[in-house]
Structure formats: C-alpha cells, structure tokens
Amino acid sequence: MALNPQITNLVIILGMMQVSKKIPFDDPQVLLAVRILYIVTNIVISGIYWYLQNKINAKKDLTTLKYVEPAPMGSADEPKLITTTVHSYDLQQLRALWKSQLMGVGMMGVMHLYFKYTNPLLIQSIIPLKGAFEGNLVKIHLFGNPAIGDLKRPWKAAGGLMGMGGQGEPKADKKSIEQAERAGSGGVKEE
C-alpha cells in the first residue's frame, strides 16, 4: 500500500523545515546554490511537461470521452455533461498542470524576491518535482502505465486543503451520463 501523497508532502515539508534551519542562508554561496537548485527543478518540471505535450500530440487519441462534471460546491447549477476526446482531455489536464506550476513560481518569486524569504526555496525545490512525478499524465505518458483503475479518465480532482476539494468527482458511469443527457445539461463537444 502506497502512502497518501499529501501525507508524504507533509513529512517532507516538516523534515525540510528542520533541515533548512541548519542551512546558513546568509552565506551568498549557499543561497546561490539553493536558488540554482530551485531553478533546475523547475526546468526539469518544464521539460517533463513539454515532453508530455509532445507525447499527447503524437498519440492524438481521438477516443470519445463522456463524463458528468459535478456542479461546484455551494452552487445551484446542475451537473454538466462533457463530451470530449482523450486527446483534448489530456491537453486540458496538462494546461492545468502548467498553470499550477507557473502560479507556484510566481508565488515563490514574490516570497523570495519581495519578502526575502529563503527557507521555502528549498522546500519548493522538492515538493513540485515530487508532485510532477505523481501526476496521472506522467504515469500514463511517461511511465507507460495503462489507463485503468485509478488512471482511468476522467480523474478525480485533487483534494484541496486536508483532502476537501471544491466539488465532487466526475462521473463516467452510464446512468449518470444518461441522466445528464435527459436533463439537457451540456453535451456540447469541447475542443
């Protein structure tokens, strides 16, 4: 049984916080080395995502994918039927990964350059790289795992704080899709 990624992230963060207390960040050489480590890990992540994009576009899997996307929590909206292709779904998921990575770099830039925090550089050199290798797209397109079980599309949205996501998981069962089609909630093919 594998450990929950959120638990391992917490263990890494707590461990790296203890390690970072012992690192002399006031030494310019050490600070430069940690900055280089942060930049290199982000270059590696960008390389992985670029490779995934090329792999997805090379496969161009046009298999139709239908699922019901739940309404956002607290919303009066109906669940929406989504009809797309595996290719489009994977590219949409990859765009979300890019966006998340860029947000992390932006936040780290503000924290480090504006507020002069140095400890998070070390932690943010490890956690995003770990997260990139744990992603479903990487497991399928980089490691070659079959898209069955937990890797079957559509994927569950990653839980937010303490595993509480903003909405339920997408449903791809026949009954949910038929209900959404009868309700007339969506069904327009997303490109």
For the entire predicted model, the pTM comes to 0.84
Q: What is the pLDDT of residues 68-79, one digit of tens each?
A: 888 777 777 788
Tell which phi-psi region holds residue 60, choosing left (phi > 0), alpha (psi between -120 and 50) or beta.
left
Coil vs helix vs strand at 80:
strand
Q: What whole-number distance in Å separates Cα of residue 180 and Cα of residue 172? A: 11
Q: Which two tokens stand for residue 154?
A: 């559509």
Q: What is the pLDDT of residues 8-26, one digit of tens each?
A: 989 999 999 999 899 999 9
Please tell me what DSSP assigns to residue 78: P
CA atoms within 13 A on the CB side of 164: 3
Q: How many CB atoms lie within 10 A of CB 89?
A: 20
Q: Which two tokens stand for residue 80?
A: 């929406």
Question: Chain centroid to CA 188: how far?
Answer: 25
- Please list, residue by residue across 101-120, b when 16 or more beta carbons sit within 10 angstroms of its beta carbon and e when fewer do: beebbeebeebbeeeeebbb
Residue entry with tokens 């669940």: 79
Q: What whole-number distance in Å separates Cα of residue 30 and Cα of residue 24? A: 7
Report whether pLDDT(165) > 80: no
Q: Which two tokens stand for residue 122?
A: 């070390």
Report whether pLDDT(56) > 50: yes
Report whether pLDDT(188) > 60: no
Contact 65, 85 (CB under 8 A): yes
